[in-house]
Amino acid sequence: MKITFLGTADVRPRADAYCSSTMLEIGDDIYLIDTGAPVAELLLKYGKRPSQIKAIFITHGHSDHFQGIFPLLSQCYYVYGDANFDILFPEKKQADALCDCAVAAYLGTPFPHDRLRFHIPAEGKTATVYDDGVLKATYIPVSPHEGVPHFSILIEAEGKTLLFTGDLSERLKDDDFPKVAYEREIDLVVCEYAHIQAEHLEPCIQKSLAKQFVFNHYAAWRREEIAAFVSDPRYKIPLRAVNDGDVIEL
């Protein structure tokens, strides 16, 4: 499986980083975790076609995690008739609004729900929400922020396990680091670094059964802090901050 970090910034995109988005590739199939980056354009840049997308998993309904889905949806609605994928979106109101926007953009035919399929994961419940026989995704609730349901996402594919933490509570005050990382081996944890600090993460990393951690969703002004954190010799597993365009093969 090939993992490409399309966007690694926090809420403020910058010249060298878009907001959160990660692309997983398994053979010709593409899965996106969050779409805060301009994914429609980035897919083209990476030589991909919308018809390769199998599913999109959104951790929560804050724009820096999904704003790039709108151009993609409107293009898949109007231009790419062969696009056919599932979208896991935690908030129904927002999902409905996105469909309405795609239709409004062209004032065309009704939204093609048969090939661009939204699904709303149940709030507060751990559940396997997607399994196409290639990749399985389990949504794990973390604390709601500002009233918006948030999820961590556990991905299993090709015998590997990845955990996307999604956004965690400020300073981990709600102790919402996903406990599954303590219970089973995880090949890669993709951990946000917008709302947390190294001191709060340290016990989670030490207790986890993860083989490696990468950090995304961070502000430019925290670069030095993260560089010191990921090179701290106390950690026995590799830690690294990722940048836009970075690739990891698992």
Binding region for Zn ion (CB under 5 A): 167
The tokens describing 6, both together, are 């399309």
User: Sheet containing 2-7: which strands, arranged edge to edge?
Assistant: 116-119, 85-88, 53-57, 29-35, 21-26, 2-7, 247-249
CB 64 to Zn ion: min, Å:
5
DSSP per-residue letters across 97-116:
HHHHHHHHHHT-SPP-TTTE
Least distance in Å: CB of 194 to Zn ion? 5
Beta carbon nearer to Zn ion, 64 or 187: 64
User: Using CA atoms in the order 203, 205, 206, 211, what is the torsion angle rounded to 10 degrees?
Assistant: 170
Contacts of 26 (CB under 8 A, 6+ apart): 1, 2, 134, 135, 157, 158
Q: 3-class DSSP state for residue 191?
A: strand
In the complex, minimum distance from the CB of residue 91 to Zn ion, in angstroms, rounded to a whole number: 14
Q: Write the CB contacts of 23 (distance below 8 Å, at least 6 apart in sequence).
A: 3, 4, 6, 30, 31, 32, 39, 42, 43, 46
Q: How far is the CB of 111 from Zn ion (least distance, A)?
A: 27
Find out whether 23 and 31 touch, Cβ atoms under 8 Å. yes
- Provide, rounded to whole angstroms, the least separation between the CB of residue 20 and Zn ion: 6
Residue placing its CB nearer to Zn ion in the complex, 50 or 166: 166
Which residue's C-beta sits nearest to Zn ion?
167
In whole angstroms, how far apart are CA 173 and each of 1, 112, 170?
Answer: 34, 42, 6
Indicate the residue among 20 and 74 with the shorter CB distance to Zn ion: 20
| C-beta closer to Zn ion: residue 54 or 217 | 217
Give min distance, CB of 248 to Zn ion, in A. Answer: 21
Nearer to Zn ion, 159 or 221 (CB): 221
